[in-house]
């Protein structure tokens, strides 16, 4: 197809005001005017002609380079591919009309082969919406992704073209989130300070009432308490974006995933700590927990189970405390997968929350599908629980809701995981024991098994972990007495002369003490009066 470069100027005839065009006498100088290009494009579907035109080049070389670029783009589609030819032609027509930069030849070739928009106007926000709509995962997962997209990703980077998203954009986004955290903390502190001050103002007296009114108005004008976006949440946001961009790469929309290369502060997972006497004493004094993850000692666990021995859900607390089931797994455990005759139960399902709604779902991971061995006492607890459930079924009669679950509400219907957590916290508070979360019973079960000498692989399988490292890193809280025994066993392995001398001195001191006692007894007998 025809294409050409030409030089023109914008001088006008001083008398008529019309453009001089090629008749301008100054065009003899190469420095006068500018160069333009024009390339004929394939006709439209209705047969009308169209072309690509662009002006303003300072040199013939620059104009010729763009003309060659346009021709290279036209050559991407084979002559026997009318659809591809039409797509390229439409793209060039649109680029020319918008005075946009010419698209890269290789990028356009890739887009043409994969059937994508050749201009690449797809934004990050548009792709995230498409990606989320196509996800086929449980509702709670979709809700989590949706929260990250709605609150963080679309407001900050949703307007950017996905093919132009860079690591620097994401670095700026997370920097802005950190700065917003600082503002939130300051505003929360100001609001709390005003609340504390308001609590000190008496209610009686006109002056005090006026002051309280002013302070309440100030409180109303302040932003409400807000949660900051912590390190774990920032990692989750990056994970959501990374997953979405990986799918974009798979569909050949982009070739690079910047979310895989942005650096964030590492998340330090809290270590489980045991409620020792010293920690309990400090908690009672200050009300502060040493860690967000706390584990009861065997004695404390026993005290709690004794405290709730008559509770309707005692069997659930017992099962979680000894076998480490997750909350949703315990709530969703069916009788059909509970084989008391063979002392096993099989975890095949769980109840999960989506907002406040509850739905049944597969276990959290593939390794969550597992067989859990039951001890004799736990089997006995579950047998008594089943008898009580059968009595409840008979009492409710036709109103009984048959779910087939081991643990249910009074009428047989599903337990709500969130309500189970709230109920557990009330039971802990009434027991006068130091506080733990329901999930910490699972931590405690892992710790009990490890302290009892159970192999870590068996513990990992019982808990449904995919890797024993997870068990060691998160759940292995060593009880003080177990640690003391280990320390003593380690110390005895190393023979030290110092130890021998110390032992001799200790024995000598004990011998002297015994001799002194014996001598004192003899003197006492001699001084004893006769008859």
| pLDDT, tens digit, 9 for 90 and up, residues 298-310 | 999 999 999 999 9
Interhelix angle 231-250/139-148, nearest 10 degrees: 100
Higher pLDDT pick, 458 / 10: 458
Here the tokens at position 45 are 């579907």
Q: Measure the N-to-C terminal CA separation of the chain; round to a whole number of Å.
A: 144
E strand segments, 228-367: 273-274, 294-295, 338-339, 344-347, 350-354, 357-361
88 within 8 A of 123, measured Cβ to Cβ: no
Interatomic CA distance for residues 63 and 57, integer angstroms: 6
404 within 8 A of 335, measured Cβ to Cβ: yes
pTM: 0.64
Predicted local distance difference test score (pLDDT) of residue 2: 81
φ and ψ at 172, to 5 degrees? Answer: -65, -40
Q: What is the mean pLDDT of residues 46-67?
A: 91
Higher pLDDT pick, 455 / 186: 186
At residue 528 the predicted structure's pLDDT band, cuts being 50, 70 and 90, is low
| Each residue's pLDDT tens digit, 57-89 | 988 899 999 999 999 999 998 888 888 888 899
Here the tokens at position 287 are 């009300």
Q: What angle do CA 502, 506, 508 make, to 5 degrees?
A: 115
What is the DSSP-derived secondary structure letter of residue 149? I
Q: Give yes or no for residue 529 having a pLDDT over 60.
A: no
Share of the chain above pLDDT 70, in %: 93
* Minimum mean pLDDT range among 86-95, 425-434, 472-481: 472-481
Q: Give yes or no for residue 506 having a pLDDT over 80.
A: no
Q: What is the mean pLDDT of residues 430-436?
A: 95
Residue 324 burial class via C-beta count within 10 angstroms: exposed 0-12, middle 13-18, buried 19 and up: buried
Higher pLDDT pick, 185 / 467: 185
| Each residue's pLDDT tens digit, 341-398 | 999 999 999 998 877 888 888 887 788 899 999 999 999 999 999 999 999 999 999 9
3-state secondary structure of 6: strand
Place of tokens 């990050």: 124
Q: What is the mean pLDDT of residues 518-529?
A: 65
Q: Give yes or no for residue 137 having a pLDDT over 50.
A: yes
Higher pLDDT pick, 469 / 198: 198
C-alpha dist (Å) from residue 458 to 71, 158, 341: 67, 46, 21
Q: Give yes or no for residue 54 having a pLDDT over 90.
A: yes
Predicted local distance difference test score (pLDDT) of residue 259: 96
Q: What is the mean pLDDT of residues 279-296?
A: 92
Q: Give yes or no for residue 527 having a pLDDT over 60.
A: no
Predicted local distance difference test score (pLDDT) of residue 531: 47
Mean pLDDT of the chain: 87
| Each residue's pLDDT tens digit, 214-268 | 999 999 999 999 999 999 999 999 999 999 999 999 987 888 999 999 999 888 7
Place of tokens 């792709």: 127
At residue 270 the predicted structure's pLDDT band, cuts being 50, 70 and 90, is confident
Q: Give yes or no for residue 120 having a pLDDT over 70.
A: no
Instruction: Centre a 10 Å sphere on the Cβ of residue 65 and count the other Cβ atoms it contains.
Output: 13
170 within 8 A of 262, measured Cβ to Cβ: yes
Place of tokens 């309500």: 419
Predicted local distance difference test score (pLDDT) of residue 425: 95
Share of the chain above pLDDT 90, in %: 56
C-alpha dist (Å) from residue 250 to 111, 243, 495, 500: 13, 11, 63, 70
């Amino acid at each position: 197809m025809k294409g050409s470069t030409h030089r023109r100027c914008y001088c006008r005839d001083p008398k008529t005001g019309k453009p001089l065009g090629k008749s301008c006498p100054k065009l003899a100088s190469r420095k006068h005017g500018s160069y333009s290009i024009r390339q004929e494009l394939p006709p439209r579907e209705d047969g009308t002609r169209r072309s690509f035109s662009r002006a303003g080049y300072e040199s013939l070389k620059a104009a010729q380079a763009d003309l060659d670029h346009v021709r290279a783009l036209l050559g991407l589609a084979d002559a026997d591919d009318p659809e591809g030819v039409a797509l390229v032609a439409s793209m060039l027509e649109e680029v020319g009309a918008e005075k946009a930069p010419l698209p890269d030849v290789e990028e356009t070739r890739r887009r043409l082969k994969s059937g994508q928009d050749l201009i690449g106007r797809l934004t990050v926000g548009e792709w995230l919406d498409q990606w989320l709509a196509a996800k086929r995962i449980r509702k709670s997962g979709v809700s989590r992704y949706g929260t990250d997209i709605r609150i963080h990703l679309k407001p900050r980077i949703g307007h950017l073209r996905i093919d132009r998203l860079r690591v620097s954009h994401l670095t700026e986004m997370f920097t802005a989130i950190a700065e917003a955290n600082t503002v939130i903390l300051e505003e929360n502190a100001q609001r709390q300070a005003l609340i504390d001050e308001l609590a000190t103002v008496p209610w009686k007296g006109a002056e005090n009432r006026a002051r309280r009114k002013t302070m309440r108005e100030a409180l109303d004008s302040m932003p409400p308490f807000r949660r900051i976006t912590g390190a774990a949440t920032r990692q989750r946001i990056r994970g959501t974006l990374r997953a979405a961009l990986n799918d974009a790469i798979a569909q050949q929309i982009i070739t690079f995933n910047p979310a895989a290369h942005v650096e964030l502060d590492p998340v330090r997972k809290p270590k489980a700590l045991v409620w020792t006497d010293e920690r309990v004493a400090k908690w009672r004094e200050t009300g502060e927990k040493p860690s967000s993850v706390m584990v009861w000692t065997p004695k404390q666990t026993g005290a709690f189970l004794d405290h709730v021995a008559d509770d309707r859900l005692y069997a659930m607390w017992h099962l979680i405390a000894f076998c480490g089931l997750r909350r949703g797994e315990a709530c969703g455990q069916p009788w059909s997968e509970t084989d008391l005759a063979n002392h096993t139960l099989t975890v095949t399902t769980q109840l999960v929350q989506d907002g406040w709604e509850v739905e049944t779902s597969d276990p959290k991971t593939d390794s969550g599908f597992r067989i859990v061995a039951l001890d004799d006492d736990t089997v006995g607890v579950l047998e008594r629980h089943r008898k009580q459930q059968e009595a409840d079924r008979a009492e409710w009669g036709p109103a009984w809701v048959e779910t087939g679950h081991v643990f249910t509400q009074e009428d047989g219907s599903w337990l709500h995981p969130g309500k189970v957590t709230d109920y557990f916290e009330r039971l802990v508070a009434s027991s006068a024991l130091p506080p733990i979360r329901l999930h910490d019973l699972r931590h405690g079960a892992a710790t009990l098994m490890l302290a009892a000498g159970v192999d870590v692989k068996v513990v990992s399988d019982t808990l449904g972990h995919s890797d024993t490292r997870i068990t060691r890193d998160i759940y292995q809280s060593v009880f003080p007495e177990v640690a003391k025994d280990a320390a003593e066993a380690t110390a005895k392995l190393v023979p030290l002369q110092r130890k021998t001398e110390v032992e001799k001195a200790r024995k000598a001191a004990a011998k002297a003490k015994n001799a002194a006692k014996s001598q004192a007894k003899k003197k006492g007998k001699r001084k004893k009066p006769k008859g």
